[in-house]
Structure 1
Amino acid sequence: MIDDAKSWGENLILDGFTYDFITGGAPTDATIRLAWLDKQLPEHAGLNGQSAEFKPQPWRQLAKVLREMGHAEDARQVSIAFEKRLRKADLIGQTPVLAKDLCPQRSWIYRKTSRILHWWFGALTGYGYRPLRLLSWVLGVWLFCAAIYWGAALKGGYAPSSPPVFQNPAYTVCKPPKNNWYLCSQLSEAYSGLSPLAYSLDIILPFVDLQQETRWSPLIPTPIDPWYAEFFANWSWQHNIRLLVWFETLFGWLSGLLLAAVVSGLAKRREE
């Protein structure tokens, strides 16, 4: 295919148009080529938010040709833009044919859940085309949580998980509120000290045991009756630390599964 931006015009019909390569000085930059795709009829380009007339073939054809020509990054950009356009064209979260008889509430839940998961898939991994982006997220969550754990430890929010250590009369001076287990100099050197960075890393990496999470735990106030008082009268900043630990644990597991799926090709869309 040989063309230039001046020859495009408006309201193009590219559906079914195939070509093997782009040559003759024609632009191969992803930004320019995406602008070319947007020159299609609005309903074909998915610009009107309606899925019925959206044409995916021009997007897949362009990504395929760019990849085969060696423009891998431009092909990835086109593929990512295609996923975003599917969302804009309202093609994400469509109810499966076999589930057309679902009640409106269940269909709404299915649609919203699909769109939320699709958005997060793009934010975390670039729809499978930017797997290293997930590592940046993991790094950010690890350091953020470590900073929070560090502050909690300085406020006396952590204690040894080992009953023989926690209940040892020799370490009574280490207990809050008069003292702090994290900073207590009387605590035996044989017991692994709390390292907020290692503690956070131990939580976010599912299959790694740095002996931090098993040896240290946040101090949570004893629950009181009735049960709903836990969320109101008895709620404290220590409860927030526990919620953060749960969040980081789930994030670590989900990130590991997602990264494995992307690397193995189970989640990455085929570039056709």
Structure 2
Amino acid sequence: MTEGTGRRAGDLPDDLTDVEAGMWQAFRNGSVYDLRAGDAAVDDPHGDRPWGPERSVRARVVCWLLLDGPPALAGRVSSLKLTGLRITGPLDLAGGTVVPFVEMKGCRFEEEVLLPEARFTTLRLVDCAVPRLEAARVQTEGDLHLPRCRFRRGMRLTDAQIGTDLLLNQAVVHRDRAGRSLAADGLAVGQDLQAELLQAYGEVSLRSAKIGVSLSLRGARLAGPYTRYALNAPQLTVERTLYLTPAGLGSPMMSGVTPARGTRIQHVECEGGVRLDDGRFGDAVDLEGARFVLGDEQELSLRRVQTPELRFLGERPGRGKVVLSGAKIETLVDRADSWPGPGQLHMGGFTYENLVPQGPFPLAERLQWVAAATAEFNPEPYERLAAVLKESGEDEDAREVLLAKHRRRRETLPLASKLWGYLQDVTVAYGYRPGRAAVWMAVLWAAGSLAFAHAGRPPAASGDQHPHWNPALYALDLLLPVVDFGQASQWQLSGGWQWLAAALVLLGWTLATTVAAGATRLLRRN
């Protein structure tokens, strides 16, 4: 007998309706309690067809079963498996410990589901209509499944601890009063968080969340028109990969895999800012095909992110900014048409070790990529790109990048320094084209030799003691500042020829100075 009731354990309470009595017996038997009418339009929990008393149970009876339900029948395991039921009143399990397995499919909740600090083994709500889910600090030993559910006023999973997987595939979540659709700061998931084809009409907040395996937002549509961010997930930790990639449509078997060729797909779309600052990702951040619709003041922010691989293969944002400042990446996989234009890209302190472009990405466009990230001159992005190219054996491209750095710096200098920079560029390309010095020397030598050959022999500077007149050696003696061929000091020119000689001396010293400056720069770099 149950104390104080005059009933034996397992007996039906007197105040249950016929529908609730059927649910009571199904719970003891561990069987599915299915009250669907067999008409898809009528059975749709998200439709407008009314569900009457013939398929309604009170939420407090459901709570009674889960918290202090009757024992199972002999040889059975008690569990609550409901399909097509209407639950009236708030389902309040706050602080409770629920031992039985719970699975509700196609159910309609009239009021909020309250699960703060509750404990479950496994909880599955599939294709249910829920006004709001309050589940802060909820704990499950196994899965928490919420696929295809619709939440009219958002859901809260702050500091929740999910033992294995959290499933939100194809869920539709509207905003709460604060403009958030999913508030899950501090969430901890033991294995995967799958939110593929999720539709969120408010901010998705995953600040400081920890995911034990992968976080999949394949094909998700995130819109944050009421807050600054559509996805707000600073300090997010994902042990393997964050997927913001396409999802296949029409087949539940496509979940968690890359869609096969020919499959109809849906790309990720984020309407609002995305913040992944200080995130840690064990394998990769994959943005292939993602579309970011940003306002002028909104950002796709990856500040100080650390991951072995960043796959930046989404559509080019038309507005807003992409910020990679301080990020540390081992391999950057990208496309030329994925990056935004000048003023929209920030890469101060961004480091990467390897570049793997997908499709054509010529050096000229790579230099435009760096220039787009440096509205004001900053040598760091140029030096990082040059170091990566040199490490991969592309020495010529690395020199071109460093040359572009000096040309960009030249535009910030005062006039005198700018003119000196132009001279170094034309003569020896700031030391990165030392062969140009020999070309200039040969041109000046040939021009001087031809000119002096037409001048005739000038008078000797010191009477009869002089070498044989040699126009070629004379021109070379003027051009080389240090070497003395015994010609320049032995002949006395006058008029225009004297001016030509002075010009060759000046050009020789200028050429020697630029060569020395370039050589010094190269030695310092090496």
TM over 0.5: yes
1:207–1:73 Cα change, 3 Å = same
Aligned to 1:120: 423
Pick the structure with more strand per residue. Answer: 2
Give the superposition deviation at 1:75: 0.9
1:12 aligned to 345, 354, 361, which one?
345
Give the superposition deviation at 1:66: 1.1
8 A Cα contact 1:29 1:74, kept in partner: no
Give runs of aligned pairs for residues 246-265 of structure 1, distance below 5 A.
Answer: 246-263=502-519
Give the Cα separation in 2 of the matches to 1:262 and 1:37. 24
Give the superposition deviation at 1:246: 1.4
- Per-residue CA deviations over 1:150-202 (Å, capped at 9, x if unaligned) read 2222xx6x12223236xxxxxxxxxxxxxxxxxxxxxxxxx633221121012
2:384 aligned to 61, 68, 73, which one?
61
Aligned residue for 1:163, secondary structure, equals: coil
Aligned residue for 2:430, secondary structure, equals: coil
Give the superposition deviation at 1:83: 1.4
1:24–1:34 Cα change, 3 Å = closer
Aligned residue for 2:521, secondary structure, equals: coil
1:76 aligned to 392, 399, 407, which one?
399
Give the superposition deviation at 1:210: 2.6
Larger deviation, residues 195-204 vs 7-16: 7-16
Give the aligned residue type for 2:482.
F
Give runs of aligned pairs for residues 18-167 of structure 1, distance below 5 A.
Answer: 18-23=351-356, 29-40=362-373, 44-45=374-375, 53-88=376-411, 91-93=412-414, 112-153=415-456, 158-164=458-464
Give the Cα separation in 2 of the matches to 1:146 and 1:207. 19
Task: State the identity as a percent.
Answer: 31
Give runs of aligned pairs for residues 180-259 of structure 1, distance below 5 A.
Answer: 192-218=467-493, 220=494, 238=495, 240-259=496-515
1:27–1:269 Cα change, 3 Å = farther
Give the aligned residue type for 1:9.
P
Give the superposition deviation at 1:82: 1.4
TM-score normalised per structure 1: 0.62
- Per-residue CA deviations over 1:98-143 (Å, capped at 9, x if unaligned) read xxxxxxxxxxxxxx22121121111111112112212211111111
Aligned-residue RMSD, C-alpha:
2.6
Give the Cα separation in 1 of the matches to 2:360 and 2:367. 11
How many residue pairs are counted as aligned between the two chains? 193
Give the Cα separation in 1 of the matches to 2:514 and 2:390. 24
Give the Cα separation in 2 of the matches to 1:199 and 1:124. 23
Aligned to 2:178: none
1:270–1:139 Cα change, 3 Å = same
Aligned residue for 2:393, secondary structure, equals: coil
Rg larger for:
2
1:70–1:26 Cα change, 3 Å = farther
1:28–1:120 Cα change, 3 Å = same
Give the Cα separation in 2 of the matches to 1:26 and 1:200. 53
Give the Cα separation in 1 of the matches to 2:359 and 2:522. 29
1:269–1:162 Cα change, 3 Å = closer
Give the aligned residue type for 2:403.
I
Give the aligned residue type for 1:7.
S
1:269–1:248 Cα change, 3 Å = same
Aligned residue for 1:23, secondary structure, equals: strand
